[in-house]
Each structure stands twice: as C-alpha cells, then as structure tokens.
C-alpha cells in the first residue's frame, strides 16, 4: 500500500466547491473563544460540503491568522456569516424549516448513535463555548439535543473534535437516506 500524494487526491477547486451540491447541514458556533477551534470547524465543514457556518457572539471571524492556521484556506470555500445573537439565527432558520440540534449534555438528550436523520431535512448543529457549552436559552429553543456518548473520566470533548464526530455521523446517515 502506498500513501497518496496531495496531487492524487482529486479535490474540488474553490469554484467547483462553491457550485457543488452541499450536505444539508448548517453549523452554528455559539460564542467560541478559540480561533484554532474556529479554523478546525471550517476545515471539517469543507471536508463534508457543509452548507454554511454561522459565527455568533464572541466567535471571531475571518480573516484572521490564527483561524487561517487551522482552516488552511477553507474560509474561502465554506459560506459563513456573522450574527451577534445565536437566538436570531435560530429564529431565522426555524422559519426556513431547518431542524435545530444543540450538541450538548442535557436531560432527555438523544445519544448521537440513536439519532435518526430524516430525508429532505436540513439540520443546524449548534456547538457551544469551550467552558460553558451551548447557552441554556439556545438549548431550550432547539428542536432536539444530541449528546455524544462518552465513557472516560472527562466531561466533554474539544469543540472541534465534537464537530468532527457529529458531522461525520450525520453525513454518513444522510448519505444512506
């Protein structure tokens, strides 16, 4: 087995990415502090053809050298928008019949492995602050809460890791519906 060179990976150009059919997933970042986490979410979003990212509250926006460091140019491919209030984004998306899913540990949360996707549905995944998580008012206004099962001693995963896990899971499930 031979490791492939980047030139052999047959990746989309920026223009081809912009015109490609997107995965019906939107990501909402609710007050993310770390610029590296923001950049990592952009890179994951590029990898899975995510529709859009909303950067809310204190979440920094491109261009920024620390976002670029982990995004590696994906801020040029993935559509994004800044909004001061996460709640405003959620209200808007709900009027467009987007299903809002807070990624959080909460009472009656659905474990990720048990979450069922519906055909012809767009999902907005809300990821929260590295310390405080998704704000309670946002959890309360979500259609559902999805929790990533964890079995060790730590209480949470890094937000960029959580994003990768959840996006991959939903992407895989959506491809089979």
**CB 67 within 8 Å of CB 42:** yes
**167 closest CA partner among 75, 56, 7, 29:** 29
- pLDDT tens-digit readout, 27-47: 999 999 999 999 999 999 999
Separation between Cα atoms, residue 30 and residue 152, nearest integer Å? 26
Nearest to 157 by CA among 169, 146, 165: 165
As a whole number of Å, the end-to-end CA separation of the chain is 33
* Listed range (44-48, 53-57, 130-134, 173-177) with the worst mean pLDDT: 173-177
Q: Where are the domains of the chain?
A: 13-175
Residue 151, burial from CB neighbour count under 10 angstroms (0-12, 13-18, 19+)? exposed
- Read out DSSP for 67-100? HHHHHTTGGGTS-EEEES-HHHHHHHHHHTTPEE
Strands 110-111 and 123-128: unpaired
Q: What CATH number matches the domain at 13-175, 1.10.10.10, 3.40.1280.10, 1.10.645.10, 3.40.1390.10?
A: 3.40.1280.10
Which residue bears the tokens 């990768």?
164
What single string gives the DSSP state of each residue in 98-127? PEEEEES--TTPEEGGG----TT--EEEEE
* pLDDT one-digit tens code per residue, 51-98: 999 999 999 999 999 999 999 999 999 999 999 999 999 999 999 999
Q: How confident is the model at residue 3 (pLDDT cuts 50, 70, 90)?
A: very high
Dihedral, CA atoms, 157, 161, 165, 171, nearest 10 degrees?
150
With a CB cutoff of 8 Å and minimum separation 6, the contacts of 83 are 54, 55, 56, 89
């Amino acid at each position: 087995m031979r490791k492939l060179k980047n030139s052999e990976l047959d990746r989309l150009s920026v223009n081809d990415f912009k015109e490609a059919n997107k995965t019906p997933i939107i990501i909402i970042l609710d007050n993310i502090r770390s610029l590296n986490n923001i950049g990592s979410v952009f890179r994951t979003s590029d990898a899975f053809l995510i529709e859009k990212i909303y950067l809310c509250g204190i979440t920094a926006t491109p261009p920024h050298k620390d976002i670029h460091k982990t995004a590696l140019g994906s801020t040029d491919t993935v559509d994004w928008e800044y909004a001061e209030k996460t709640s405003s984004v959620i209200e808007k998306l709900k009027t467009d019949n987007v299903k809002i899913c807070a990624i959080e540990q909460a009472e009656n949360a659905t474990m990720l492995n048990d979450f069922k996707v519906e055909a012809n549905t767009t999902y907005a995944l809300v990821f929260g602050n590295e310390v405080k998580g998704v704000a309670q008012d946002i959890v309360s206004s979500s259609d559902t809460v999805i929790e990533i099962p964890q079995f060790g001693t730590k209480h949470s995963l890094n937000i960029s890791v959580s994003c990768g896990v959840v996006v991959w899971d939903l992407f895989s499930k959506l491809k089979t519906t």
